[in-house]
């Protein structure tokens, strides 16, 4: 890979970050008169800008050093910061393999970064041969890979990921939002070997905390330092940090609900595959199923009328709906409704 000095935007390399009151004094003291806070109230103090407690807990769970973790206001914040750190607006490029999570493209466009999409192959895997010519593009700074992929549900072949990490000169971002639902090993184990790797994870999916907005980027320490330089000083609220900490300590609930979701995924797949207007249920390593119907648009609108909202992904993959795994009762209702529509 190129050095970080070659990859990071010059204005970010030169940036003197905002120094908050909590940067300058972070210990405990009897009287805090340094941050223009109100002395009264419960949430009157600014939060820890570096979310140390949450990072310690997450670091222990993931067996990784806390200095290799950035916490964002959802992993969407980490995605946006990656563009701000690495991509010169109007000049640099980023690439992904489509169809995939739509936010990468939106973030690229917000940051005025040229966006390249290469198609996944028929099994929704990366065609390395198609990507190889891009390895030498000096303006291509970021490659986004979603694994397991949204909306197709499959994990990307690990050998291909390694091939990209070994040959691409820029940063490789592997978004593992759904990794806890997968049998695949996380790419966190590759961090030590590949300094150009950034892994994204989130509390929004298997941890059941989408409302909290807590996402993680894992990378070498120098990259995390750039995240910290560019992020808003207090990007994760005190309330959200404490709820996140509580939920990370409650590992049993995570295991229990994940088990239910995985069992329901299997049951839904088996049951829905019996329904006559279901054509294909794609293999899923995530908490959703991508299903090709004979007439997806009709099914979508009929489900809406019955108060069941799924995601129509037909614009990306013809005649498909992406259906999130719900509670057993919600899934029963979905099954019954789809069976009725098929009659
Ligand atoms: C692949 C992928 N990455 C990231 C996100 C967003 O995660 P967060 O809620 O942490 O911003 C989503 C949300 O659906 C997603 O599908």
Please give the distance, rounded to the nearest whole angstrom, from the Cα atom of residue 75 to the centre of ligand 1: 6
Residue pLDDT, tens place only, 53-99: 999 999 999 999 999 999 999 999 999 999 999 999 999 999 999 99
Angle between helices 296-305 and 328-342 (to 10 degrees): 120
Q: Decide if 1 contacts 195 (C-beta within 8 A).
A: yes
DSSP letter for each residue of 229-285: HHS-TT-S-HHHHHHHHHHHH-HHHHHHHHHHHHHHHHHHHHHHTTSTTEEEE---S
- Separate counts of helices (H) and strands (E) for the chain: 13, 11
Tokens 């009151």, residue located: 21
* Pocket perturbation via mutation, ligand 1, pick of 177, 200, 216 by most ligand atoms within 8 A of CB: 177
- Give the atom of ligand 1 at the shortest distance from the alpha carbon of 204: 9
Q: Are residues 170 and 122 in the same domain?
A: yes
Question: Does 177 contact ligand 1 (Cβ within 6 A)?
Answer: yes
Q: Which of 231, 249, 267 is the last residue of a domain?
A: 249
DSSP letter for each residue of 66-91: GGGEEEESSHHHHHHHHHHHH--TTT
Please give the distance, rounded to the nearest whole angstrom, from the Cα atom of residue 36 to the centre of ligand 1: 35
pLDDT at 258 over 90: yes
Cα(83)–Cα(80) distance, integer angstroms: 5
Cα(315)–Cα(309) distance, integer angstroms: 17
| Total number of residues shown for the chain | 343
CA 319 to chain centre: 25
Q: Are residues 124 and 231 in the same domain?
A: yes
Q: Are residues 128 and 213 in the same domain?
A: yes
Gyration radius from the chain CA atoms: 22
Q: Are residues 244 and 295 in the same domain?
A: no
DSSP 8-state assignment for residue 14: S
Q: Is 159 helix (H, G, I), strand (E, B) or coil?
A: helix
Residue pLDDT, tens place only, 264-301: 999 999 999 999 999 999 999 999 999 999 999 999 99
For residue 274, the model assigns a pLDDT of: 96
Q: Are residues 183 and 235 in the same domain?
A: yes
Q: Are residues 191 and 310 in the same domain?
A: no
Please give the distance, rounded to the nearest whole angstrom, from the Cα atom of residue 122 to the centre of ligand 1: 24
Poorest-pLDDT segment among 25-39, 202-216, 312-326: 25-39
Cα(35)–Cα(38) distance, integer angstroms: 9
* C-alpha distances out from residue 246 to 49, 181, 242, 286, Å: 18, 21, 6, 24
Q: Which of 230, 249, 268 is the last residue of a domain?
A: 249
CATH number at residue 295: 3.90.1150.10
Please give the distance, rounded to the nearest whole angstrom, from the Cα atom of residue 83 to the centre of ligand 1: 16
Q: Are residues 172 and 191 in the same domain?
A: yes
Q: Are residues 171 and 32 in the same domain?
A: yes
Q: Residue 267's domain spans which residues?
A: 252-342
Q: Are residues 118 and 231 in the same domain?
A: yes
Q: Name the residue at shortest CA distance from atom 11 of ligand 1.
A: 74
Q: Are residues 91 and 209 in the same domain?
A: yes
For residue 280, the model assigns a pLDDT of: 97
* C-alpha distances out from residue 198 to 29, 73, 171, 172, 192, Å: 37, 17, 7, 6, 11
What's the domain count of the chain? 2
Q: Are residues 21 and 80 in the same domain?
A: yes
pTM score, whole prediction: 0.97
């Amino acid at each position: 890979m190129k050095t970080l000095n070659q990859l990071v935007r010059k204005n970010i390399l030169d940036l003197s970050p905002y120094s908050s009151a909590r940067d300058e004094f972070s210990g405990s003291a009897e009287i805090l008169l340094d941050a223009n806070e109100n002395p009264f109230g419960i949430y009157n103090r600014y939060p820890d800008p570096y979310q140390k407690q949450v990072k310690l807990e997450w670091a222990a769970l993931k067996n990784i050093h806390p200095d290799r973790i950035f916490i964002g206001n959802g992993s969407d914040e980490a995605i946006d910061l990656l563009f701000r750190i690495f991509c010169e607006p109007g000049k640099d490029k980023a690439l992904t393999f489509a169809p995939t999570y739509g936010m990468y493209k939106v973030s690229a466009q917000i940051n005025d970064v040229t966006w390249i999409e290469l198609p996944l192959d028929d099994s929704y895997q990366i065609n390395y041969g198609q990507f190889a010519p891009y390895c030498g593009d000096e303006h291509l700074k970021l490659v986004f890979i979603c694994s397991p992929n949204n909306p197709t549900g499959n994990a990307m072949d690990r050998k291909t990921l390694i091939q990209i990490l070994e040959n691409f000169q820029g940063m490789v971002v592997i978004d593992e939002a759904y990794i806890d639902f997968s049998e695949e090993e996380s790419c966190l184990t590759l961090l030590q070997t590949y300094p150009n790797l950034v892994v994204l994870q989130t509390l929004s999916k298997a941890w059941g905390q989408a409302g909290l907005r807590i996402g993680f980027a894992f990378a070498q320490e120098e990259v995390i330092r750039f995240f910290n330089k560019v992020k808003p000083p207090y990007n994760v609220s005190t309330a959200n940090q404490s709820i996140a900490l509580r939920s990370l300590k409650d590992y049993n609930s995570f295991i229990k609900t994940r088990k239910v979701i995985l069992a329901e995924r299997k049951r839904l797949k088996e049951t829905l595959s019996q329904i006559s207007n279901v054509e294909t249920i794609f293999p899923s390593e995530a908490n959703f199923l991508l299903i090709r119907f004979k007439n997806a648009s009709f099914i979508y609108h009929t489900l809406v009328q019955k108060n069941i909202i799924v995601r129509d992904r037909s614009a990306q993959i013809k005649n498909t709906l992406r259906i999130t795994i719900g509670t057993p009762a919600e899934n029963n209702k979905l099954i019954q409704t789809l069976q009725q529509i098929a009659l």
